[in-house]
């Protein structure tokens, strides 16, 4: 692998104490939303929170990540699986792409089974608008179980 993609990760502030274990494991193993990097090395150039609703750190974090070479910014899986899911995902994605010309991927690690089961029970993602946010991190059953 000669190519390298530099990425940044923005997590939900509810998980601000998260050490990034699931995201980093998924990045290393090319699982979940990181499965798109099968033919390239990845380098993490930034990892931070959104700073809480309504995401006051997204503008600053995006700018810093791009200055550090980020070509792709991942909005962490926690923004999708939290209770409730982040209501600003669309806005964050559109803003970062337009303002910084960077690709934005929703998701990092595979959705853990325990979160999938609860959201399916609650009907959280029944609206088709959630499909593009959930699909990149859905993974297979065995993989999801390893992220519980």
What are the structural domains, with CATH classification, of the chain?
4-146 (3.40.50)
Q: What's the CA gap between 23 and 5, in Å, rounded?
A: 16
pLDDT tens-place string over residues 89-147: 999 999 999 999 999 999 999 999 999 999 999 999 999 999 999 999 999 999 999 99
The residue among 48, 41, 39 whose CA lies nearest residue 75 is 48
Peptide bond before 84: cis, by omega within 30 degrees of 0? yes
pTM metric for this prediction: 0.95
């Amino acid at each position: 692998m000669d190519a390298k993609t530099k990425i940044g990760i923005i997590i939900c502030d509810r998980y601000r104490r998260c050490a990034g274990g699931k995201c980093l494991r998924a990045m290393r193993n090319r699982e979940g939303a990181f499965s798109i990097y099968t033919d390239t090395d990845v380098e993490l150039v930034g990892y931070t929170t959104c700073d809480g609703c309504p995401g006051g750190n997204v503008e600053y974090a995006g700018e810093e990540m791009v200055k550090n070479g980020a070509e792709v910014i991942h909005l962490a899986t926690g923004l999708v699986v939290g209770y409730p899911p982040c209501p600003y995902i669309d806005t964050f994605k559109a803003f970062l792409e337009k303002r910084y010309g960077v690709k934005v991927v929703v998701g990092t690690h595979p959705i853990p089974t325990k979160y999938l089961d609860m959201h399916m029970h609650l009907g959280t993602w029944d609206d088709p608008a959630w499909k593009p946010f959930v699909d990149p991190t859905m993974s297979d059953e065995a993989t999801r179980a390893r992220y519980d």
